[in-house]
Amino acid sequence: MNTLELINRRQRQILVHSFLYYQLNTNIISDHTFDDWSKELADLMSEHPDIAKRSVYYEGFKTFDGSSGYDLPYHLPQIQSIGYKLLKYHNKERI
C-alpha cells in the first residue's frame, strides 16, 4: 500500500468510527486503536503534505491533529452507509 492509499484508508476509518461514536453513541473499536490510527494519520499528513492534499477527504482533515474526530465531516452519506453496514455486521457477529 502506498502513502496516498494509506492516508485515504486512515481518513475513511477515522470518519466512520467518528460517525459511530459521535452520532450513534457506540463503538466497535477500542479508543486505543482509534488513537493509534489518528496519530498515524496526523504524522503521515505532516510528513507528506503534497500527497495528503491529493487524498479523498483532505478538505475535512486539513487541520486534523489526531486529538479528536468530533469536527470531521462524518455526516457524508457514504461514510454513514459504511458505518451502518459495519455496525450491522459487528452486531450480527456478536449473536
Rounded-to-integer distance, Cα 22 and Cα 33, Å? 16
Number of helices followed by number of strands (H, E) in the chain:
5, 0
Label residue 4 exposed, middle or buried (CB < 10 Å: 0-12, 13-18, 19+). middle
pLDDT in tens, 53-64: 999 999 999 999
Give residue 19's pLDDT band: very low, low, confident or very high (50, 70, 90). very high
Predicted confidence band at 93 (pLDDT cuts at 50, 70, 90)? confident
